[in-house]
Amino acid sequence: MPGKLGAPEIILILVVVILLFGAKKLPDMARSLGKSARILKSEAKAMKDENKSTAPAEQPDTEQAAAQRTIQAAPGDVTSSRPVAEPTDTTKR
């Protein structure tokens, strides 16, 4: 039946992937994919927490807006964290 993958098809796909990319590159590719997924997850969580903590009617004062925050690439990964300067809003409302 078309559309159903059985064990022989999955094994064939895995063999083709190993032949195309090589056995040495696969662990590195999986590691970088996992790191990217952790970064995406932590950034999405930070954005969600940021939206919950700031009410729409509430305006942050200038001291909070000028403060720097640190974005970490992965939770607990201190070596890849970097300070980020928040953009300042120069428009008058």
Give the start-to-end residue ranges of the domains of the chain.
Answer: 23-47
pTM beyond 0.75: the answer is no
Tell me how far apart the alpha carbons of residues 36 and 42 are, in angstroms, rounded to a whole number.
Answer: 10
Question: How high is the pLDDT of residue 72?
Answer: 55
pLDDT score for 86: 62
Going by C-alpha positions, the residue among 67, 65, 72 that lies closest to residue 46 is 72
pLDDT at residue 39 in the model: 95
Q: Work out the mean pLDDT of the chain and round it to a whole number.
A: 75
What is the pLDDT, as a whole number, of residue 55? Answer: 53
Low-confidence ranges of the chain (pLDDT < 50): none
**Which pLDDT value is given to residue 87?**
64
